[in-house]
Structure 1
Amino acid sequence: MKNNKTAFIVLGVILLVNAFFVNYAYLSAGKFPEGIMAVSITIMSFCMAYLSDHFAAKDERAQKIRERGVFVSYFWMLGIIIILMALVNPYVGPVQLSAYHLLLLIASLYISVVFLNMVYYARKY
């Protein structure tokens, strides 16, 4: 399993550099950072580097980490979607986003939240 951990770390570093340059180009142009999915995949890669040792054994603990991480992420995402609905309200909301950008943001946040929750519960259990 040491090779998986190293592969995830190397992939995470490559994706981090890629995400930085892509998002920097969008932000410096004053546009919505469309490379935000690369940031969430970077987070996923680093989380999987940490979780690879925990998930190597197919035991109850690994299953509980997966179940709890996804279960709690559901409630986090409900909260995030409620906040986004208040911010992106077309009548009084301070933020104007297209549907594509909103879905990109929700998908990126979901990926990040699920894997960060799994890391939290791996440390807790």
Structure 2
Amino acid sequence: MKKARENQITYLFLGIVMVPLSIYINYPYIMQLTFPKGIMTLFLGTSSLMMAYLSPHLFPRDERSKEIIGKSMSINYFVLFSSMTLLILLTGSLGPFVLTSTQVLVVLFCIMITTIPLTMIVYVNRI
């Protein structure tokens, strides 16, 4: 339980530092209605805050934590493929948005880094 508490404090510190920093970095891009360059920092910060909440539930490494991780990964498989499909429809040749390949990869990374802890939070409350 001591390890879970140490991890929780580390995740909380990282989240508290990264979220305001990323808002400060991305504010000019959002005001100019352009794709934010440091958007990954915001999603990493929110993911750290979610992991701070999840730390006591996941780090004992018991059967419950393994079940939470397993169910979360199976749901994330479908979330990732549905988000890829949606990105293809929105940014394809007939889509309304134009994104570079790097921007598409950043969006996919942000979706992945957010949905994994988010689905774990859903399963922590259910199991």
SS of 1:50's equivalent in the other structure is: helix
Name the structure 2 match of 1:61: 64
Matched, 1:107 2:124: no
CA distance in 1, matches of 2:7, 2:105: 31
Q: TM-score, normalised by structure 2?
A: 0.91
Q: Does 1:37 align with 2:26?
A: no
Which residue of the other structure, out of 47, 52, 66, is the alignment partner of 2:50?
A: 47
CA shift digits 1:13-72 (9 cap, x unpaired): 111011101111211233201211112111210111111101221111101111111110
Match of 1:117 among 116, 119, 122: 119
In structure 2, stretches of 5+ residues that fail to align are: none
Q: Distance in 1 between matches of 2:98 and 2:25?
A: 22
Q: For residues 6 and 111 of structure 1, what CA distance do their matches in structure 2 show?
A: 20
Task: Give runs of ≥4 in structure 1 deviating > 6 Å.
Answer: none
TM-score normalized by the length of structure 1: 0.92
Q: CA RMSD in A?
A: 1.2
| Residues 1:89 and 2:92 aligned together | yes
> Aligned to 1:8, what secondary structure does the other structure show?
helix
Q: What secondary structure does 1:31 align onto?
A: coil
Count of matched residue pairs: 124
Mapped partners of 1:57, 1:2: distance in 2: 11
Q: Distance in 2 between matches of 1:106 and 1:3?
A: 30
